[in-house]
Structure 1
Amino acid sequence: MGTKAATLIIGGTAAQIADSVRGLVERGHLSPGETLPPVRALAEQLGVNRNTAVAAYRTLARSGVVVSQGRAGTRVAQRSRVPQEGFAAAGPLRDVGNGNPDPRWIPDLGPALATAAGRRPVLYGEPVIDPGLKAWAQQWIAPDVPTQTQDLHLTLTSGAVDAVERLLAQALLRDDTVALEDPCFLASIHLAQLGGYRAVPVPVDAEGMTVEGLRDALDQGVRAVVSTPRAQNPTGASLSARRAADLREVLAEHPYVLVVQDDYFSYLSRQPFHSIIGPDHQRWALVRSVSKFAGPDMCLAVMASDADTAARLEMRLRPGTTWVSHLLQRITHSVMSDPAALALIEQAGAHYAERNGSFADLLTARGLPTEAGDGMSLWVTLPVAAREVADRLTRRGWLVRTGDEFRLEQTDERSRHLRLTVHDLGEEDAAALANDLADAVHAAG
């Protein structure tokens, strides 16, 4: 039944039980890896219904406090480092799971930096959005929002992840529910865990977030929905016009649920933008960042939102970071006004699409049918458990990411997907990886 510390759990509701367990963990009375009482035993111990204990454990699992291991029981989560986007500690391995852009296709920031640095300093109390950037941002984002340009409310944040974090924080309280795509962008998983939100998974297929999945999440009372309209990470799926229309119809019945569209791949995408935000929706935001095409160090995102959300964001920005550096704004505006830089960004988008498509063809020819979606990486479906294949690829010198990392809820069933970033591989290396992957699948099978 676990240790004596487990008998200290108290509470008569799911929320009280979850808070009790969280407190015991925070005070060190329950240690990482320690087994909690089975659901039935905990219900008897506290004199509550079994479903109440189940709900408490589910809340704790979604908050990252415990890990459900099926018949092996429920354990306090280990304080291990959670997966992050970007380069991993690969050592001598070739990292093909990092999701990074290729530096060769990022515009040179030198001229833009010299121009921006040569202008007068910005002082306290001045407008938080530089006039030049604001004019460009309005042209960039206005055609895709459900409002008139003159009514457009813009906010700048330090990247798309910062934007989503602030949006959720101004709309949700701890234990509120948020609908997230499943499989999910790693940063979104972290935001839900750190914010104490209960993430409701919405399955993703080739046309994006599914209609039935969203309807089910809304029926569960979610207060916010985060959707990726193009190049969904990790699957590469983009919303079709038909799917977006169907999702708008479902959301029309819930106009006060906050809908966040994270269009992070914008300029690089090979797919058209389709919005799930209808013209009468009351709480919404469209986020576009520059990091994928101007470079990850360019931490700037433009967000358009309804007036109420914009006002709430302004209040949240006041106590801390009140604006994004005007130097960064001016560099961004300079780059995005340079015809040569824009041409390079367009070539970059074509390059990523071509390399992903080429590698998908290599895998298909080797008996692993693969469709190249949009985005920096490929989502590869395997006939065997991905972890076994990943281990075998490690022995052949490759570091990959398995689909297990992108799941909202960990289960005993192992993922059969890999996310591969292959756009910077030459023809010889790409063929070698495809051969090694096919051999690893055959050996694992």
Structure 2
Amino acid sequence: MHITGTSAAEIADSIRGSIERGDARPGDALPSVRALADDLGVNRNTAVAAYRQLTQAGIVETRGRGGTRVAGRSPVAQEGFAQGSVLRDVGTGNPDPTRIPDPSAALARMGGRPVLYGEPVIDRGLEAWAQEWMSDVPAAERRITITSGAADAVERLLAQALTRDDAVALEDPCFLTSIHTVRLGGYRAVPVPVDAEGMTVDGLRTALDQGVRAVVATPRAQNPTGASLTERRARELRAVLAEHPYVLVIEDDHFSLLSQRPYHSLIGPAQRRWAVIRSVSKFLGPDMGVAVTASDPETADRLAMRLTPGTTWVSHLLQRLVYALVSDEKVMDAVASAGVHYADRNAAFAARLVGRGLIVEPADGLSLWVPLPAPARAVSEQLMRRGWLARSGDDFVIADLEASRRLRLTVHDLDDDDADQLADDLVASVAAARGQAAMREVG
């Protein structure tokens, strides 16, 4: 491979071009940082920056002592059902379809004249409801923006505030979509550990000391851990962030109306750039691509620039449908019931595991974060032999090695018999995985 360039961008483009031409194939080794810098006559930091750009774009991968190599085209982990699997999928992260309100009646009563170019991009009814929904956001002044889901909002918020290679603080372990958004945007992920009370104070302080320009956090039902910010932890995080008022703070309150925990915010009065996102996808269904973002006026203006009217506004028909549903008292009663159902089923399954010797603390959200006394990959392989498809904590890792001994299980749609069977099979799988590990040590 012939590499040229004197800046990080030029070097990265040269390597990318070689790979696209087929001069280098997946698995091929790249020169070491020292060798590349010496060959091109550049500073080592320039070579490091070039490799970092390519790593963040998923073009190359670092393997420690194995050096830097061209990455293969492996599929990235996604939420949802595994396509074509004959196994019972308990790693989906999906809401219960029987708990998603039927939109048929709301569709029948929807109406109104067509919306034309140049008109307001937010439906009036939905905007009024959204203002009330966001009334607990602790800010003196807020503006409402509608986007095509929470992931769309996060991507556009980062794009309007950051440039390539800027650092973003992410929870670790982290929601899959956030990891992909940061990586594909060319930003640098800085992990912040999460414990039972949410993002840790020391972790956030360390990330800010590393120069992060944005923080993406989950105030409730953090995915995958289920952790929710306590009042004490939120207060401590606000104090740390107060020293960095121009860092963009994004809260993804994805579980919102389903959550059984109070909302405590990271956003304090000193924060100048902030956004709170609440999507309807967990309680009205993933196909209902609407999210409400409340933000400071400047961030709202910048976000609006990323939502050019006439090309990418969220359909008013969809907005009206959402408003018709959320303004229906029976629908909202069903949403509240669904939230209780998820919490009860998760708690019941956690109790099953505790009764079998696996200690699990039920938290908030659609899934359970299950600690294991064996590597999660080995346990999930054993579960597959017993007919179950689980999700290993490795999928959610940025740097947290402890997550490799966790499973995220979505169990709220299992009846009691299936839940008992899964609990038994999980315990047996842990024992089998530990037995295999012991045999390898002896061998």
Contact in 2 for aligned 1:255/1:282 (Cα 8 Å): yes
- TM-aligned CA deviation for residue 25 of structure 1: 2.9
- Amino-acid identity (%): 65
Q: AA paired with 2:315?
A: S
Mean alpha-carbon deviation: is it higher for 157-166 or for 13-22?
Answer: 13-22
Residue 378 of structure 2 corresponds to 388
Q: AA paired with 1:114?
A: A
The superposition leaves residues 371-404 of structure 1 with CA deviations (integer Å, 9 ceiling, x where unpaired) of 1111000111111111111111111111111111
Q: What is the rounded CA distance, in whole Å, between the counterparts of 2:44 and 2:159 in structure 1?
A: 32
Residue 159 of structure 1 corresponds to 149
- TM-aligned CA deviation for residue 60 of structure 1: 3.3
Cα RMSD, aligned residues only: 2.0
Q: AA paired with 1:401?
A: R
Please point out which of 139, 154, 160 is paired with 1:170. 160
Change (3 A) 1:89 1:346: same
Q: AA paired with 1:144?
A: V
The superposition leaves residues 395-415 of structure 1 with CA deviations (integer Å, 9 ceiling, x where unpaired) of 11111111111112598x981
Indicate whether 1:128 and 2:118 are aligned: no
1:36-435 mapped onto 2 (5 Å cutoff): 36-47=30-41, 53-54=47-48, 56-116=50-110, 118-147=111-140, 151-318=141-308, 321-408=311-398, 415-435=404-424
The superposition leaves residues 126-166 of structure 1 with CA deviations (integer Å, 9 ceiling, x where unpaired) of 2211111111111100221412xxx4311000111111111
The superposition leaves residues 335-362 of structure 1 with CA deviations (integer Å, 9 ceiling, x where unpaired) of 1111111111111000000111111111
Mean alpha-carbon deviation: is it higher for 10-19 or for 73-82?
Answer: 10-19
Q: AA paired with 2:159?
A: A
Contact in 1 for aligned 2:143/2:300 (Cα 8 Å): yes
Q: AA paired with 2:59?
A: V
- TM-aligned CA deviation for residue 192 of structure 1: 1.1
TM-score (norm 2): 0.93
Q: AA paired with 1:433?
A: L
Q: AA paired with 1:195?
A: G
Residue 22 of structure 2 corresponds to 28
Q: What is the rounded CA distance, in whole Å, between the counterparts of 2:160 and 2:310 in structure 1?
A: 14
The superposition leaves residues 55-91 of structure 1 with CA deviations (integer Å, 9 ceiling, x where unpaired) of 5444433332222223333221111221111111252
Q: AA paired with 1:243?
A: R
Q: What is the rounded CA distance, in whole Å, between the counterparts of 2:48 and 2:163 in structure 1?
A: 22
Contact in 1 for aligned 2:4/2:11 (Cα 8 Å): yes
Change (3 A) 1:414 1:33: farther
Contact in 2 for aligned 1:106/1:293 (Cα 8 Å): yes
Q: What is the rounded CA distance, in whole Å, between the counterparts of 1:237 and 1:321 in structure 2?
A: 38
SS at structure 1 position matched to 2:136 = helix
Mean alpha-carbon deviation: is it higher for 161-170 or for 74-83?
Answer: 74-83
Change (3 A) 1:209 1:23: farther
Q: What is the rounded CA distance, in whole Å, between the counterparts of 2:206 and 2:19 in structure 1?
A: 32
Mean alpha-carbon deviation: is it higher for 47-56 or for 160-169?
Answer: 47-56
SS at structure 2 position matched to 1:361 = helix
- TM-aligned CA deviation for residue 46 of structure 1: 4.1
- TM-aligned CA deviation for residue 45 of structure 1: 3.7
SS at structure 2 position matched to 1:199 = strand
Which structure 1 residue ranges, 5 or more long, are not aligned? none
**Count of matched residue positions in the alignment of Structure 1 and Structure 2:** 434
Residue 438 of structure 2 corresponds to none
Residue 439 of structure 1 corresponds to 428
Mean alpha-carbon deviation: is it higher for 310-319 or for 210-219?
Answer: 310-319
Q: What is the rounded CA distance, in whole Å, between the counterparts of 1:410 and 1:81 in structure 2?
A: 21
Change (3 A) 1:39 1:367: farther
- TM-aligned CA deviation for residue 37 of structure 1: 2.6
Q: What is the rounded CA distance, in whole Å, between the counterparts of 1:22 and 1:224 in structure 2?
A: 28
Q: What is the rounded CA distance, in whole Å, between the counterparts of 2:214 and 2:271 in structure 1?
A: 13
Q: What is the rounded CA distance, in whole Å, between the counterparts of 2:415 and 2:242 in structure 1?
A: 47
Change (3 A) 1:87 1:279: same
Contact in 1 for aligned 2:118/2:309 (Cα 8 Å): no
